Amino acid sequence: MLRLSVRHGRIGVVRVAVVPGPGRAGLLCPLDDHGGRAGVPIAVDDLAAAIRERERSAPDRGHSTGGGPIAGSAIRWVWFATAALYPALARADAVVARCHDISLTEALLRTRDAAARDGARGASAAGEPGEPASDAAWQRLLDYRPGPAEPGVGYPPDTTYPPDTTYRPNTTYPPDTTYRPNSSYRPDGGPIQPALFDPDQVGTQPPADPRAALDALIEVHASQVARIAADPHPARFALLAAAESAGALAAVEMSLAGLPWRADVHDSILTGMLGARPPAALGAASRLGGPQAAARPRRLTELAAQISAALGTRQPVNPDSPGQLTRALAAAGIRVSSTRLAALREVDHPAIAPLIEYKELARLHSAFGWAWLDTWVADGRFRPEYVVGGVVSGRWASRGGGALQIPRLLRRAVVADPGWVLVVADAAQLEPRVLAALAGDRAFAAAAAAGDLYNALAGHFGGDRAKAKVAMLSAMYGGAGGEAGQLLAVLRQRFPAAAGFVEAAAQAGQEGRTVRSALGRTCPPPSARWRALTEEASDPDSERDPQAGLALRARGRFTRNFVVQASAADWALVMLARLRARLTTIPAGADGRASVPELVFFQHDEVIVHCARSLADDVAAAVSQAAADATRLVFGPTPVVFPLTTAVVECYADAK
DNA sequence: GGTCGGGGCGCG
DNA sequence: AAAGCGCGCCCCGACC
């Protein structure tokens, strides 16, 4: 980690600023160590070709981060938004090893600095939040954002929203959140930040004035380099920015490659569970019986009838409607706190079994049924769009297709191409191991040096592995119900440093402060509403609002979890970046095919590589080396191990 | 007609 | 068994 250059992330890597346009052309400008111009801008007719050529002619000659040489060039391309520019480049075979994503890095920096500004504002109530020195250049850069992309130029056509859906930002936020990197959503009237990247607005259609855009880009980049260097831990923050940017490259490449998806297998799973695919609903006629009436498959229709019969309702009850369902259950003498599966399972009544089956099948049908298949799977591939940095903790989000919520039973449909395999790697018990490394708790670290963490802890909990797990989860999530409180007390006694670490994070959150991940990703500051609510309550003259205590504890749980989840995301992101680099060093297989291993899926702590069977061992080795790289880069020397369970399978469902 | 919040549930 | 954290997206129903 110390070998990282503060200014450049890596010794020997040069930076080149990139602005697209006009047309297929573009502007390049080499940068010096401080991000200033190291030459005059170079206009190129074919940007993809120019980048491709420079990637090939500037090889990385063994500059090492300690984990061995990396294939690819020694250029770090500096551009506004990977998600906007890189799809077109990658499709034109201009695959790059490294980039610096200005928009993602700006989001990291602004979230970091929002905390300080927020604190300052607390002192002078009416004061404007202090803006970074680069703000004028940043605004200019946003002004140069191009209009909507032309067809085939911006996002690849197969990864844009399906025509019949509209994206709406999620509406359930932690009560104290004011800002998320890729969202202009303002949940509670808190300070709004500029939308850093809007896929509807940003395409690769070039800015009207590329030279002016280049000026703004270079200015913002220089400011980012300086602001990274000013971080209390500049090397870590530089690594975070580099990993976030590498993740953005990987995300685009994964969307282009797609996850192998057998539509025929998926269809037979649906048919087996739901009955044959119902004919398409026919416009207005079908709506007379409700939008779903014509489209409800046979099995769901049967179950709905059984539910109504068992409840003895005069009118058919729609099990999709919590309101109708609650009333019908009440009429049958059943009172439930909600119509969730968990609550229903407590009830003993003939209507419950078909109702539970209905809810499970209806979920499959509506979220991952035939309509999903039609919309999201083409040419044997599922191509979701990943949103790097879309979660406050640094986890990725996805847009369309529910890519990160694929039901486990549909893993049967994820099948490698003939002669190819899936290398499925899953970080085992990542979050508790991250806590062990973060807290530097020697006793806990010793337990985390073992294979199964919870088995190793079980001895401290009367030999009960399940209790050890509950204690850990409670510590990381802030749960205290049931016997969790007792188990937490045991944890606190045996592992005071680990318990103290998360409790300090919770305390910081309750006091309105922010916390940071291992690499320096910062949680959002509390919203104005949260501050008002909690400050009012702390005033002895005011009436005590029960909402205030709830909000206080909710933010404590949020920051308590943030330090663990976000540091785990740091580790996973660095692992992904290192794996991506290492995969390029694997020589082509003996079968002579152009068989480069492809990253095809990434889900928080799990990664899938699709490769020729002959390369599976090399890929598996790259995975474990990448994990070791990540552990060293994120946590430095630590006794904690981060084992990956790696399976080489033809079908994802066989991975574990 | 469309929008939006709630309830619910899939994943980690 | 669920809970405590983080998400996306479905349907429903209130509302404009």
Could you tell me the two tokens for A607? 């990664």
**pTM, whole model, 2 decimals?**
0.87
- Of A34-48, A137-151, A445-459, A524-538, which has the strongest mean pLDDT? A34-48
Residue A613 lies in a domain: no
Q: Which one, of A28, A8, A14, A13, lies nearest residue A217 by Cα? A: A28
Of A172-176, A356-360, A485-489, the range with the highest mean pLDDT is: A356-360
**What band does A309 get if pLDDT is binned at 50, 70 and 90?**
very high
pLDDT digits (tens, 9 = 90+) for A559-591: 999 999 999 999 999 999 999 999 999 987 555
**Residue A555 has what DSSP assignment?**
H
DSSP bridge pairs for A516: A522
Share of chain A above pLDDT 90, in %: 60
β-pair partners for A260: A381
| Sequence letter at residue A574 | V
A1 is a domain residue: yes
Determine the protein residue whose CA lies at the shortest distance from the C1' of B10: A405
Which pLDDT belongs to residue A378? 93
Residues A277 and A252 placed together within one structural domain of the fold: no
**Number of domains forming the structure of chain A:** 3
Closest CA to A12 of A65, A78, A82, A50: A65
Residue A541: per-residue pLDDT: 62
Short-list A59, A62, A153, CA closest to A97: A59
Question: Do A105 and A5 share a domain, yes or no?
Answer: yes
- Peptide bond preceding A87: is omega within 30 degrees of 0, i.e. cis? no
Q: Of residues A322 and A143, which shows the higher confidence score?
A: A322
Give yes or no: residues A241 and A295 share one domain: no
Answer for A341: CB within 7 Å of strand B.
Answer: yes
Among residues A208, A225, A257, which one ends one of the domains?
A: A257
Instruction: Say whether both A219 and A293 belong to one domain.
Output: no
Tell me the pLDDT tens digit for each residue of A431-441.
999 999 999 98
The count of other CB atoms within 10 Å of the CB of residue A549 is 13
Asked if residue A177 belongs to a domain, the reply is no
What contacts A404, CB < 8 A, 6 or more positions away?
A: A396, A397, A398, A603, A604
Residues A49 and A69 in one domain: yes
A513 and A453, same structural domain? yes
Residue A315 CB closer than 7 angstroms to strand B? no
Tens-digit pLDDT profile for residues A530-566 = 888 888 766 666 666 777 888 899 999 999 999 999 9
Distance, CA of A332 to CA of A377 (rounded, Å): 43
Q: Which of residues 359-388 of A touch strand B (CB under 7 A)?
A: 359-360, 363, 367
How would residue A399 be classed by pLDDT, with cut points 50, 70 and 90?
Answer: confident
Instruction: Tell whether A517 and A534 lie within a shared domain.
Output: yes
**C1’ C10 / CA A262, Å:** 23
Q: How far is the CA of A554 from the C1' of B6 (A)?
A: 20
Q: Quick one: average pLDDT of A267-287? A: 75
Which protein residue has its CA closest to C1' of C1?
Answer: A342
Q: Is residue A239 part of a domain?
A: yes
Please check the confidence at residue A495 and state whether its pLDDT lies above 60: yes
Strand B positions within 7 A of protein Cβ atoms: 3-12
Q: Which residue is nearest to nucleotide B5 (CA to C1')?
A: A171
DSSP alpha helix (H) spans, A295-429: 298-311, 322-331, 341-344, 352-368, 370-376
Cα separation of A619 and A66, whole Å?
A: 19
The region that residue A418 occupies, defined by phi over 0 for left and psi between -120 and 50 for alpha, beta otherwise, is: beta
User: Domain boundary residue among A374, A393, A408?
Assistant: A374
CATH number at residue A275: 1.20.1060
A527 found inside a domain: yes
Sign of CA dihedral A575, A581, A587, A590: positive
- Quick check: A8 pLDDT over 60? no
Q: How confident is the model at residue A132 (pLDDT cuts 50, 70, 90)?
A: low
Contact (Cβ atoms closer than 8 angstroms) between residue A595 and residue A583: no
Structural domain that includes position A317: 264-374
Share of chain A above pLDDT 70, in %: 79
Say if A476 falls within a structural domain: yes
What are A235-273's pLDDT values in tens digits?
999 999 999 999 999 999 999 999 999 999 999 999 999
Please indicate, yes or no, if residue A129 is contained in any of the structural domains: yes
DSSP SS3 for A651: strand
Average pLDDT of span A442-454 = 86
Query: For residues A179 and A631, what is the distance between their CA atoms, to the nearest angstrom?
Result: 29
Is A228 in the same domain as A286? no
- Cβ-count burial of A55 within 10 angstroms (0-12 exposed, 13-18 middle, 19+ buried)? buried
Whether A560 CB is under 7 Å from strand B: no
Same-domain status, A131 and A279: no
Q: Is the model's pLDDT at A77 over the cut of 80?
A: yes
A339 touches strand B (CB under 7 A): yes
If asked whether residues A124 and A270 sit together in one domain, one would say: no
The domain boundary residue, chosen from A242, A257, A272? A257
Q: Mean pLDDT over residues A280-307, rounded?
A: 66
Tokens of A556: 């404590």
Asked whether residue A229 falls in the same domain as residue A292, the answer is: no
Q: Does residue A506 register a pLDDT over 60?
A: yes
Name the nucleotide nearest A345; use CA and C1': C1
Residue A513 confidence (pLDDT) above 90: yes
Q: pLDDT value at position A176?
A: 31
Contact (CB, 8 A) for A395 and A568: no
Q: Is the pLDDT assigned to residue A204 strictly greater than 50?
A: no
Task: Decide if A363 is inside a domain.
Answer: yes
Q: How distant is C1' of C7 from CA of A652, in Å?
A: 22
- Cα gap A318→A298, rounded to integer Å: 15
Residues A509 and A446 in one domain: yes
pLDDT of residue A118: 66
Return the SS3 of A598.
strand
pLDDT band (50, 70, 90) for residue A179: very low
